[in-house]
Structure 1
């Protein structure tokens, strides 16, 4: 690879890193072609971009990026695959599901909205993270709950004013 090709790859990686807040680093070495193809297919279905990268080029792209990756470059050893997604827990779910059939991929580290997770032992914590859509759904559910209680109380008291007052005073 020439110096110009390397600088082009670093620029492309830097642009990819700048465009996302969710980056996972995984080790998929030792997977055969069919298993790797299945992993790529699972990632594609989940909206995850999976690429195998050279560690030195990725490290230089992380240094050039505006994001602070902290100790994440320290895990760049051996074979490294980068998983880029929009949903913070999607790559962790794909890895966990895939590990039911195989011992790989191994999670090296993750960068999610300025938070850094290092090590395969963080996989369960990453799977438990809620997506933005899930959090919005929970908040909406919590906000709707009191209104539903008032409406049901009004309906249970009957149509008379005395019944409404009695029901509201009981609550």
Structure 2
């Protein structure tokens, strides 16, 4: 690979990193072609971009990016693949699903909205993270719940009061 090609790859990776707040680093080495193809297909369906990268080029792209990736570049050893997503827990769910059939992909580390997770032991914690849409849905549900209770109480209470007034007026 020439210097110009390397600098172009670094620029592309830097642009990808700048466009997202969710980056997972995984090890998919040792997967056969069919399993790798299935992993790529699952990632595509979930809106996750999966790309095998050179460690040194990714490290340079992380240095050039606007975010502070903390200790994440230290896990760049061996074969590395990068998973980029809009949803913080989607790549973790894909990894967990594939781990039911095989011991790979391994989670090397993740960067999610300025938080850095290092090591495969963080997978369950990453799965437990709620996506932005899930949190918004819960907040809306919580906000609507008291309003619905008040409206239903007023409706049921209104019928009771109206019936009571009607009964009193008839007497």
State the TM-score, normalized to the length of structure 2. Answer: 0.92
1:120 is aligned to: 120
In the alignment, the residues of structure 2 paired with residue 163 and residue 99 of structure 1 have an alpha-carbon distance, to the nearest angstrom, of 63
Structure 2 counterpart of 1:140: 140
Q: Which runs of 4+ in 1 moved over 6 A?
A: none
- For 1:152 and 1:66, how far apart are their aligned partners in 2? 50
Offset, 1:22: 0.6
Which segment drifts farther, 148-157 or 75-84? Answer: 148-157
Q: Could you say which residue in structure 2 is the equivalent of 1:90?
A: 90
Stretches of structure 2 lacking an aligned partner (at least 5 in a row): 165-171
Matches within 5 A, 1:1-171: 1-157=1-157, 159-161=159-161
Change (3 A) 1:163 1:151: farther
**SS across alignment from 1:50:** strand
The DSSP-based 3-state class of the residue aligned with 1:108 is: strand
Instruction: Note the C-alpha offset of 1:161.
Output: 3.0
User: 2:94 & 2:25 partners in 1: Cα distance?
Assistant: 13
1:157·1:163 contact (CA, 8 Å) conserved in 2? no
Secondary structure at 2:109 match in 1: strand
Q: C-alpha root-mean-square deviation of aligned residues, in Å?
A: 1.4
Distance change >3 Å, CA 38–CA 153, structure 1 → 2: same
CA distance in structure 2 between the partners assigned to 1:78 and 1:151 by the alignment:
60
Q: Deviations over 1:24-68 (max 9, x none)?
A: 000000000000000000000000000000000000000011110
CA distance in 2 between partners of 1:4 and 1:163 (Å): 84
